[in-house]
Amino acid sequence: MNASFSQRKFFLTLAGLFVLVWTLLALHPTYRADWALENCLVAPFVLFLAFSARRLPLSRISCVCIFVFLCLHEVGAHYTYAKVPYESLFRALTGRSLDALLGWQRNDFDRIVHFSFGLLMAYPIRELVIRVAELRGFWGYYIPLDVVMACSMLFELLEYGTVLLFGGDLGIAYLGAQGDPWDAQKDMAMATFGAVIAMGITATINLSLQRDFAREWVESLRVKQLEPLGEEAIARMLEDRRRARSTLS
């Protein structure tokens, strides 16, 4: 079977499964307005994946990571993050309290999803920056971590703006802070922790399989351009433009 056809079939299968999950969780959500807000970013992201799939097909690992994260997010959107009944489900399956086992004092499903964002999305981001920006070595691990941290920060700012814009019960439901004054910082920390684990696992696998792993890291940290930038670079560009004009005249 053609590899590209097999990859596309895998992508379409996951896409179909996500549409099914999305449809089921779109039925009778706990708070329809909050569900709509939670899906405002999902819709353009899924459309981007669909339209870029032919030109930039992702690996199966990246596809599965994105699929699992989106499904977790849709569960949070259905119930609202502060009301996901994971505790009652865990009790029904095991007869024990998950919150008691982990020492949680609140509904921490939002923390789980923030952690999952870093854990599951760091690798697809790494695949993207390597294939598009051709990052290698140290930067191929650091930049995905940095992007996860930046996206997490931007999302917290989005939550803040949403609360200011809508306020009331909708703003509180979307924010999901549950009275924790350090909610934003803890969410960003969980995403960062997840991304560190993902990049650590990736680096460990590559270290064992990639023959030039150490050389690639050293090369990625070597200074490639000795001349400084800033005003020095502007001066060089102005000089190049002056010479070009002189040649034309």
Residue 38: its pLDDT value, please? 87
- pTM: predicted TM-score of the whole model, two decimal places: 0.88
* Residue scoring higher pLDDT (19 or 249): 19
Residue 79 backbone dihedrals phi, psi, to 5 degrees: -90, -15
Which distant-in-sequence residues (6+ apart) come within 8 Å of 34 by Cβ?
77, 80, 170, 173, 174
Length of the chain: 249
Yes or no: say if 155 and 42 are a contact pair by the CB < 8 Å rule.
no
Count of CB atoms situated within 10 Å of the CB of 85: 13
Tell how far CA 104 is from the center of its chain.
Answer: 25
* Residue scoring higher pLDDT (13 or 248): 13
Map 127-173 to HEC letters. Answer: HHHHHHHCCCCCHHHHHHHHHHHHHHHHHHHHHHHHHHHHCHHHHHH
Yes or no: say if 180 and 186 are a contact pair by the CB < 8 Å rule.
yes
> What is the per-residue pLDDT across 63-108, written as a single tens digit (0 to 9) for each?
999 999 999 999 999 999 888 998 898 899 998 888 888 888 888 8
Yes or no: say if 203 and 195 are a contact pair by the CB < 8 Å rule.
no
Residue tagged 């590209």 (tokens): 4
Model confidence at 164, pLDDT cuts 50, 70, 90, reads confident
Dist CA 52 CA 31 (whole Å) = 32
Mean pLDDT of the region 177-196 = 85
pLDDT at 208 over 60: yes
User: In the chain, where are the structural domains located?
Assistant: 3-248
> What is the per-residue pLDDT across 99-136, written as a single tens digit (0 to 9) for each?
888 888 888 899 999 999 999 999 999 999 999 999 99
> What is the per-residue pLDDT across 12-65, written as a single tens digit (0 to 9) for each?
999 999 999 999 999 999 989 889 988 988 999 999 999 988 888 999 999 999
Dist CA 40 CA 45 (whole Å) = 9
Mean pLDDT of the region 131-144 = 95
Residue 184: its pLDDT value, please? 84
Residue 6: its pLDDT value, please? 82
Residue 167: its pLDDT value, please? 65
Residue 160: its pLDDT value, please? 81
